Homo-oligomer: A and B are copies of this chain.
Amino acid sequence: MIALELTGIFAFAVSGALTAIRRQFDVVGIVLLAGITALGGGVARDVLIGATPPAAFSHLGYFVTPVVAAAVTFFAHPAFERLNTAVLVFDAAGLGLFCVLGTIKALEYGLSPLPAAALGVLTGVGGGVLRDVIARDIPALVRPDAELYAVPAVAGTLIVAAFWELNIRTPWAFAGVVVMIFAVRVVALARGWRAPTARPFIL
């Protein structure tokens, strides 16, 4: 589980570092944006449920992983660019894992299902939103030209909350949701699936 979690942190950190490099941030900015992208969602969740200091500040691995990811990206980013698909796949794995783990943690803290699902989504997507706000991008989460991202996250966390309410709390059930979020995201990328937008204003 920890290995999976660190993989997700690594994938998110690489996406943050690549954004920072594209924006020509300096070396410190690269490390900071990698860390914020990787840890921001979980930190926000922990602050909201009152679990302070956040888990990210109490386990060294959470801290070291983004720094390593930033260093690797700093030197190897042209390869990562060519491996863009690999990064997106890692990121999709991180999304699935963080959404599910975040929802479970919020449920364990006694939140009711809908808020717990919302915090699961926050855990999964919060770091990427912070990354895009700092880099002055429209968050990929809400961009109309981006493939489905929040949709599988919202659906998956609602399923986790429903399982919890139905007392289906086995690792296999939750792992299934991780795989579902991951698969929907990857297929959406491959096929260019997008969510509908409102019909345009008649100006």
Contacts and interface: CB of A to CB of B under 8 A. Distances in A.
B63 A53 contact: no
Q: Is the interface of A mostly helix, strand, loop or mixed?
A: helix
Interface of A: 20-30, 32-33, 35, 43, 47-50, 52-54, 56-58, 60, 63-64, 73-74, 77-78, 81, 109, 111-112, 114-115, 118-119, 129, 133-136, 138-139, 141-144, 150-151, 154, 194-198, 200-202
Contacts of A81: 201
A150 B22 contact: no
Contacts of A26: 142-144, 194-197
A181 B94 CA distance: 37
Nearest to A145: B24
Q: What is the oligomeric copy number?
A: 3
Nearest to A136: B138
A57 B113 CA distance: 10
Contacts of A30: 198
A28 B151 contact: yes
Nearest to A119: B57
A203 B21 CA distance: 13
A115 B81 CA distance: 31
B143 A25 contact: yes
Given A111-B57, A144-B25, A136 B136 contact: yes
A109 B58 CA distance: 12
A44 B36 CA distance: 14
A77 B118 contact: no
Highest count of chain B CB atoms <10 Å: which of A52, A64, A111: A52
